Amino acid sequence: MTIAERHKYILDELNRAGFVSVSELAKNMEVTMVTIRKDLKILEDKGLLFRSHGSATPVSPYVSDRSVQVKKLEQVAEKTKIAEKALDFLEEKEAVLIGSGTTVVAFAQAIPKNKPLTVLTAAMNVTLALIDNPEVELVQLGGVVRKSSSSAVGHYAEEMLKNFACSKLFLSVDGISLEHGLTTSNMMEAHLNAQMIRSVQKTIVLADSRKFGRKGFGKICELEDIDIIITDSGIPEIYRQKLEEKGIEVVVV
């Protein structure tokens, strides 16, 4: 292949899959990884992609902290479908943890009022979504209020969490990366989410397809630490394949 042909192939693959790997590009084009890295640098300098360790994406992978009031207006249809599908994993009379984020708020809003549950959460908007459900016993974690996510974080929330045992965690994230795992934009919330994962038997991630290939400032966990991801049909096929190879159940709505 000529340089121009390689560059076209790389951009076509990015457009198709939303992600490219240096090693796979080198194998498919029968060139060295050094050559591919040089190609990716040229394309990045032209503003055509963003490089990461061993890979590239068509948009910047980094996410910033944004208000829940802004995020709740995005991907509304996808989040609603994801939330409704998550109900299939919710059993009567079980105790569950619900994290923070607009997708899990949609999930909380979708829970039937007659479903008996115990719900432990640090997110005040999740609590408000369930406060009129007569069959739901609510336990609100306390601590420092992170206003952008309407959620409590910090030492007090983490210490309180140690006193409870829940079967499942329903979690939203800001980023899902093959190299960096699950992330969110705030390090204190990331640490609390990590504690939540360690305290449950099963972790179910609710994330729309735009979260794949993105990275937040705070790392929550490795991909291997989660059990199920519920997402929409926009998930890049390479992510679905790689996640399933790691033993993660990927549910697409």
Cα diameter, the chain: 67
What is the reported pLDDT for 16?
A: 81
| Arithmetic mean of pLDDT over the chain | 91
User: Over the stretch 27-75, which tens digit does the pLDDT of each residue have?
Assistant: 999 999 999 999 999 998 888 888 877 888 877 777 766 556 555 656 7
Contact 77, 148 (CB under 8 A): no
User: Over the stretch 89-148, which tens digit does the pLDDT of each residue have?
Assistant: 999 999 999 999 899 999 999 999 999 999 999 999 999 999 999 999 999 999 999 887
What is the reported pLDDT for 68?
A: 61
- Does position 10 have pLDDT exceeding 70, yes or no? yes
- Does position 178 have pLDDT exceeding 90, yes or no? no
Q: What pTM was estimated for this model as a whole?
A: 0.78
Strands 95-98, 117-121: pairing kind = parallel
Comparing 23 with 64, which gets the higher pLDDT? 23
Output the CA angle 208-212-218, nearest 5 degrees: 100
Dist. CA 91–CA 210, nearest whole Å: 28
Contact 105, 86 (CB under 8 A): no
What is the reported pLDDT for 169?
A: 98
Contact 195, 216 (CB under 8 A): no
What is the reported pLDDT for 54?
A: 82
The tokens describing 233, both together, are 């049909």
User: Considering just the CA atoms, what is the radius of gyration of the chain in Å?
Assistant: 20
The tokens describing 139, both together, are 């336990």
User: Over the stretch 145-160, which tens digit does the pLDDT of each residue have?
Assistant: 988 788 999 999 999 9
Per-residue HEC secondary structure of the chain comes to CCHHHHHHHHHHHHHHHCCEEHHHHHHHHCCCHHHHHHHHHHHHHCCCCEEECCEEECCCCECCCCCHHHHCCCCHHHHHHHHHHHHHHCCCCCEEEECCCHHHHHHHHHCCCCCCEEEEECEHHHHHHHCCCCCEEEEECCCEEECCCCEEECHHHHHHHCCCCEEEEEECCCEEECCCEEEECCHHHHHHHHHHHHCEEEEEEECCHHHECCECCEEEECHHHCCEEEECCCCCHHHHHHHHHCCCEEEEC
* Cα 65 → chain centroid: 14
Dist. CA 242–CA 229, nearest whole Å: 12
Residue 121 β-bridge partners: 98, 140
User: Over the stretch 192-224, which tens digit does the pLDDT of each residue have?
Assistant: 999 999 999 999 999 999 899 888 889 999 999
